[in-house]
């Protein structure tokens, strides 16, 4: 088992991603609102000139990121990752998102 973590900076892609995953039989997961560390620092320290400049660059009206967590069997991970690539083809571009897996040793409460 592994946990696939997908952090989307481009939250408008979330619905496309969820539909793509669902179309491939992947329906379990948790979606969290999240914020990048730089963004949090800028919001907290905007009175410091460097951070104030960063705030202007980062667009203060930008929505919070969405983080999708899914615990999947090893055979489902490549399918889910390909779904992410289809829904967010430019995920490797700056300020788009990131995905990674983490090994999961024990799971309780996971339904099939």
pLDDT in tens, 66-93: 999 999 999 999 999 999 999 999 898 8
pTM: 0.78
> Class assignment of domain 2-34+64-103?
alpha beta
Kindly report the average pLDDT of the chain as a whole number. 84
Q: Please return the burial class of 77, using the count of CB atoms within 10 Å of its CB with bins 0-12, 13-18 and 19+.
A: middle
Q: What is the mean pLDDT of residues 53-60?
A: 51
Tokens of 1: 């088992």
The residues spanned by each domain of the chain are: 2-34+64-103
Q: What is the pLDDT of residues 95-109, one digit of tens each?
A: 889 999 999 999 998
What's residue 110's pLDDT? Answer: 82
């Amino acid at each position: 088992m592994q946990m696939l973590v997908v952090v989307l900076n481009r939250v408008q892609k979330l619905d496309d991603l969820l539909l793509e995953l669902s179309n491939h039989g992947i329906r379990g997961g948790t979606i969290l609102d999240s914020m990048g560390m730089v963004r949090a620092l800028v919001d907290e320290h905007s009175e410091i000139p460097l951070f104030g400049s960063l705030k202007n660059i980062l667009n203060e009206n930008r929505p919070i990121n969405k983080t999708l967590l899914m615990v999947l069997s090893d055979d489902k991970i490549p399918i889910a990752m390909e779904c992410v690539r289809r829904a967010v083809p430019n995920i490797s571009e700056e300020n788009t998102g990131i995905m990674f897996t983490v090994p999961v040793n024990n799971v309780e409460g996971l339904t099939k």
